[in-house]
Amino acid sequence: MSNTSAAENAALPDLDPIGVQRQLNALVRDSLDWVAGHWLQILIAVGVAALIVLALDAIKRWGRRYCDRQPLVTGWAGIIGRAIARTNRFFMTMIAAKLVVGVADAPQGVVTTTNFLFTVAAVFQAATWVREVILGMVEARTRGDHRGSEALGTAMGLIRLLVTFAVFAIALIVVLDNLGVNVTGLVAGLGVGGIAIGLAAQGIFADLFAALSIIFDKPFRKGDSISYDTTFGNIEEIGLKSTRIRSFQGEERIISNKNLLDKEIQNNTRRDHRRAKFVIGVTYQTAPEICARIPALLKEIVEAHDKIFVRAGFVGFGASSLDFELEFDSPGPDYVSFYDGRTAIGLDILKRFNADGIEIAYPTQTTFTAAPDGRLVMPYAEVQPVKTVEARE
């Protein structure tokens, strides 16, 4: 039993309380000697350091006031102000201490301790600034998106968590590396673990990043009318996994975000106009002079209904009609206005054509009967005139 205890004690590190106390006493003694021998330099450095701390604190207060006046991040000024407002007082204090020990020729023990504390403060303060800048850029990119705020709030919470974890993990690794700890294994382990998690949940992450792309890139928003493939409908909800669409037939359609972004999407809400086209055929018996007036007549009808005339003209000889084509635009994306305007213009064309004696053609077919020698004959037998016999007296 005694041999085992002796082996364990030999394996433990040599922690000598007396040695530690001796080092602390030496550090205190050297510090007092340093203060006694360099008090003037220390006072000057402390004064300069105090001015620096006051200046940094004033900048921090300005950043906080700027954020209070403008809660929403709208540009680089807001992003920088938000980052400055998160400046830690411990970091400002360590800047002052670093300046004092550097100017006043401090003992090695004081310098080493100050450098360590300054490194910790500076690394974690830089991590805080980086996090605030990244989050500020994300919020500035998504500002004004009041529709789909639930998905945006969930996405921002997730982004805040991921950014905070990533930034402060890097900061911790940097601090450990400055302490002399071998972080190679830690970095490799985090890398392998991240790859394993990514492969296991690649489907979920694909839909998640697609949702973030929808929220930030804004190809469509909640309430927009879109169409893809054979689906036409309105966006009801944008989630982190899927998007819900209410089709024009009434059913709700659910599609994963990744599959939705892989398709060619038409956002009808962002149309600046809707275009209608009519093909109008008139009979071959219509006089050329009347045909020449038809394009101007169609333009007059379109402009009377406050629509935008595009073009109208003769397009070809049909099987049973002379074909004209009319194109006009309805301003804006409103489908109801476009639909009603198209109906009104179509009825007005019919009314004007009837009033001007322009006959709209419909499919007709004429049959000719020929004799064996090729001569055209009547398709029915001729009726001979009946001769009347005069009555004899």
CATH of domain 205-269: 2.30.30.60
DSSP 268: G
The pLDDT tens digits for 44-60 are 667 777 777 787 777 77
For residue 325, name the pLDDT band (cuts at 50, 70, 90): very high
Pairing between β-strand 273-282 and β-strand 308-317 as defined by DSSP bridges: unpaired
Pairing between β-strand 231-238 and β-strand 242-247 as defined by DSSP bridges: antiparallel
More confident residue, 352 or 144: 352
- Output the CA angle 192-159-241, nearest 5 degrees: 85
The tokens of 7 are what?
């082996």
**Residue 365 pLDDT more than 60?**
yes
pLDDT at 3: 46
More confident residue, 128 or 88: 128
The pLDDT tens digits for 213-233 are 787 778 888 888 999 988 899
Proportion of the chain above pLDDT 90, given as a percent: 22
Shared fold status for 205-269 and 271-355: no
For residue 313, name the pLDDT band (cuts at 50, 70, 90): very high
| Residue type present at position 82 | R
The pLDDT tens digits for 64-100 are 776 666 655 566 777 777 777 788 888 888 887 777 7
Which residues have C-beta within 8 Å of that of residue 109, sequence separation ≥ 6?
26, 27, 30, 31
For residue 346, name the pLDDT band (cuts at 50, 70, 90): very high
| Residue type present at position 83 | A
Between 3.40.50.300, 2.60.40.1930, 3.30.70.100, 3.40.50.2300, what CATH number should domain 271-355 receive?
A: 3.30.70.100
pLDDT at 374: 74
**Residue 296 pLDDT more than 90?**
yes
CA atoms within 13 A on the CB side of 373: 2
Mean pLDDT of 189-209: 66
More confident residue, 343 or 174: 343
The tokens of 261 are what?
């972004």
- Say which range, 39-48, 130-139, 288-297, has the weakest mean pLDDT: 39-48
**Phi, then psi, of 311 in degrees rounded to 5:** -165, 160
**Residue 186 pLDDT more than 50?**
yes
Q: Which helix (H) or strand (E) holds 305?
A: none
Q: Where are the domains of the chain?
A: 24-144, 205-269, 271-355
In terms of Cα–Cα distance, which of 156, 45, 51 is closest to 102?
45
Calculate the alpha carbon distances from 9 to 6, 14, 39 in Å: 5, 9, 46
**Phi, then psi, of 43 in degrees rounded to 5:** -60, -45
Mean pLDDT of 12-37: 58
- Partners of 282 in beta bridges: 322, 360
d(CA 109, CA 115): 10
Which residues have C-beta within 8 Å of that of residue 185, sequence separation ≥ 6?
none
**Residue 13 pLDDT more than 50?**
no
The pLDDT tens digits for 239-274 are 878 889 999 888 999 998 888 888 889 998 888 899
Pairing between β-strand 369-370 and β-strand 242-247 as defined by DSSP bridges: unpaired
- Percent helix, strand, coil in the chain, to 5, is 60, 15, 25
Q: With the CA atoms of 87, 91, 93 and 94 taken in that order, what torsion angle do they form, in degrees rounded to the nearest 10?
A: -160
Pairing between β-strand 252-256 and β-strand 242-247 as defined by DSSP bridges: antiparallel
In terms of Cα–Cα distance, which of 350, 358, 342, 345 is closest to 293?
358
Contact 238, 279 (CB under 8 A): no
